[in-house]
Amino acid sequence: MHAQLCICSATPRLDLATRLIVVMHFREMTKPTSTAILALNALSHSECRLHGEMHQPLDLEDLNDPNRRLLVLYPDPNATTLSASFLQQDDRPVTLLVPDGTWRQVANMRRRLLGLPYAETVRLSEGPPGEWTVRKTTNPNQLSTFEAIARAYGIIESPHVQNELETVFRLMVRRIRYTRGLGDL
C-alpha cells in the first residue's frame, strides 16, 4: 500500500488477557492481502507460526498448557459455538488458535491442529456477511481471518474490542479498494 495510505497509525495496540496464535500457511505470509498480519499488529499477546514449510515441522506442543484454555477457531459444524455461556464453563485465560490460509490450505492444516490434547474446537455463530471484498469467495458467509478474530474477541473480551478491531479493518478494506480503483477513500 502507498505510504500515504498506510493504516499503521490507525491500528490500535490492544493489551488483552487472550493470547492469539495464528497458524499461517507459509504461502499466505507474502500476500499483501493477508488480514492475519493486521490482527497480529493490533493484539499484543499474539504470534504467528508458519505451517507447510519443507523440513520445518510445525511444533505446537507448548500450547498444551493446563493453565490456559486452548480454543481452535474453525468453522466445523460439529464444533461448539463460541458464546459467553460456553466461556463461563471454564475461567482459565484463553489462548485462541486461528488457522490462516486459503480454505483448502486451512482444511489440510486442520488435522494437525486437532492433535492438541487440550484443544477445544469452536466456531462462530451465524452473523452478518463479511466485509472483506478484496479476495473472491464462493460463500458470502465466509469471513476473512481478521474478521473471524475480531468477532471471537468480541465474545471472549468485549464488544468494544471487536468494534476497535473492525474499525481499523474497514479502513484497510477501503484503502485497498481505493488503490485498485474500486472505491473512494
CA 6 to chain centroid? 21
Q: Phi and psi for 4 in degrees, rounded to 5?
A: -70, -10
Mean pLDDT, all residues of the chain? 85
Closest CA to 120 of 150, 160, 92, 162: 92
Pairing of strands 69-73, 119-123: parallel
pLDDT category of residue 129 using cuts at 50, 70 and 90: confident
Q: Phi and psi for 21 in degrees, rounded to 5?
A: -120, 115
> Residue 58 burial by CB count (10 A; 0-12/13-18/19+): exposed, middle or buried?
middle
Task: Read off the pLDDT of residues 69-126 as tens digits, 9 standing for 90 and up.
Answer: 999 998 888 899 999 999 999 999 999 999 987 767 776 666 666 567 778 999 999 8
Domain ranges of the chain: 16-54+62-124+141-179
pLDDT category of residue 44 using cuts at 50, 70 and 90: very high
- Ramachandran category for residue 146: left, alpha or beta (phi over 0 → left; psi -120 to 50 → alpha): alpha
Handedness of CA 79, 164, 46, 30 (dihedral sign): positive
